[in-house]
Amino acid sequence: MKTNPNPITFAELPALGAPLEAGKFAGVSTQADGTHVAVLLLPDQASDIEWANATEWAAQLGGLLPTRPIAAMLFANVKSLLRPDWHWTSDEESASYAWYCNFYYGYQYYLHKSFEGSAVAVRLIPLIP
């Protein structure tokens, strides 16, 4: 996943939902390689967008679609900042299907990538001790 090149320390993290750089702090995630990142929810939200276009939209904002675990964290930590719709994640089920997270109930499932849904973008900021 793409991250911000300027790391910050754990001590610099604000409260959940508080401003951080160009968005709101949504929590901490551990990457597959064991590194920790701060998850920044970017302010824009897209509507009526297919999965491929949502992926491009997030990249244009300097972010990416959240993974399924990060989408669950967004629901748990900053639900009040999200529209209560289903939103695309970056995770693909197959060549034709991708996963989404419903920010009203919190459940996740997959849909055909041609369906039009909502999207949020996140930016990952490396954390240093």
Q: Take residue 29 and report the two structure tokens written for it.
A: 């995630």
The enclosing domain of 17 has a CATH number of 3.10.100
Q: Take residue 66 and report the two structure tokens written for it.
A: 């959240």
User: Would you say residue 77 lies in a domain?
Assistant: yes
The whole model's pTM is what? 0.93
Per-residue model confidence (pLDDT) at position 129? 85
81: left (phi over 0), alpha (psi -120 to 50) or beta: alpha
**Averaged pLDDT for residues 1-15:** 82
User: Other CB atoms closer than 10 Å to residue 105's CB: what's the count?
Assistant: 10
Distance CA 35, CA 24 (A): 21
Q: What confidence tens digit (pLDDT) does each residue in 39-96 have?
A: 999 999 999 999 999 999 999 999 999 999 999 999 999 999 999 999 999 999 999 9
User: Would you say residue 12 lies in a domain?
Assistant: yes
What length is written for the chain? 129
3-state secondary structure of 35: coil
